[in-house]
Amino acid sequence: MTDGGGVGPSIDLELFHDMVFDLRFDRPAPGSNLEGRFQRAGNIPIALDAPFGETGPMLFRFGDMLSLLFDWTTVQSGMRISDPDHLLFDYTRMMMGFRLFRPAPRKIEMIGLGGGSLAKACYRCLPQCDITVVEIDPAVIDLREQFHIPPDDDRFRVICADGLDYILSAPGAPDILILDGFDSRGLPPALSERSFYDSCRDRLGRNGLLVANLCDNAMAFTTLERRIGASFENRTIVVPAENGGNRVVFASIDPAFPPARQTVRGHLPDTDVVDYDAKARRIVRALARASLEVPGTEH
């Protein structure tokens, strides 16, 4: 099967990113008629809306795709309108690869809501799991219905709070801590410091697993990976996304992490959301690269 599955018309993600890039220069007024503006788009419906003003998050409709844009430059999330639970971007499917290490977590915390792709996937695939999503921007939370994010219930909630404050002060300890918090300038400084990753480690404890999305330039990747590694005793796995624009980091101070390559297996259900066999193969390749980079190391 194709990794990620899903139904509905195909989406040309390269063309989509081209359109977003051009919007940075055009900056059309929300509600403008964009039909015919981009010749390569042909008859694909295109629309732009800024429900909270031009300084807030914007909604960009590109055919069967609804995306959340920040400040004309940053694609925060994307959703297939005909299949809202489909994980459109590879990095989100790779982040769900945490199930290869912790297949049935009891408690998940997420920093950053965006369009809610990961929140919806966890809610759907893990019906016994308690999920808390922390989002600092109330305007992003106000878009939850448009992105088909489920309402709060006894096992799922979205709270408006600063992610750093939450990590430092909220009670409890999750099995999985997912970091996907970005603003219009990228990863906020408060969520990229060594002290923040130390706090994440302390919150998770020995058996918890960190799953971090990194999206920046090559120099930032190196710095952030080093900081996460220092906080988690270098017990990390770094997997590039297929398009190279993101990297996903898995980290834990569990002495059994990272696992031996031969023990990483797929064979999980819900392959309509993620092809876990494909993700397992990429994680094994990442472990192999890491062992080559550190002479004498074998995971």
* Residues recorded for the chain: 299
Taking residues 24-34, report their average pLDDT: 76
Q: Which pLDDT score, from 0 to 100, does residue 86 have?
A: 92
Amino acid (1-letter code) at residue 112: G
Determine contact, residues 281/289, Cβ cutoff 8 Å: no
Quote the pLDDT of residue 184: 62
Span 182-190, mean pLDDT?
A: 75
When pLDDT is cut at 50, 70 and 90, the band that residue 265 belongs to is confident
Distances (CA, A) of 228 to 40, 165, 190, 265: 41, 19, 14, 25
Among 90, 137, 180, 275, the active-site one is 180
Q: Could you write out the DSSP letters of every residue in 42-82?
A: TT--EEEE-TT-TTS-EEEEETTEEEEEETTTEEEEEEETT
Give residue-wise pLDDT tens across range 93-143.
999 999 999 999 999 999 999 999 999 999 999 999 999 999 999 999 999
Predicted local confidence at residue 298, as pLDDT: 41
Does the active-site annotation cover 180?
yes
pLDDT band for 252, please (50, 70, 90 cuts). Answer: very high
Q: Which residue has the higher pLDDT, 250 or 75?
A: 250
Min mean pLDDT across 54-58, 86-90, 98-102, 251-255 is at 54-58
Residue 175, both tokens:
């099995």
Percent of the chain exceeding pLDDT 70 equals 87
Residues 11-26 have a mean pLDDT of 81
Give the per-residue pLDDT at 217.
66
Lowest-confidence segment of 57-66, 168-177, 290-299 by average pLDDT: 290-299
pLDDT for residue 271: 59
The pTM of the full predicted model, rounded to 2 decimals, is 0.89
**Whole-angstrom Cα distance, residue 17 to residue 92?**
17
Quick one: pLDDT at residue 269?
72
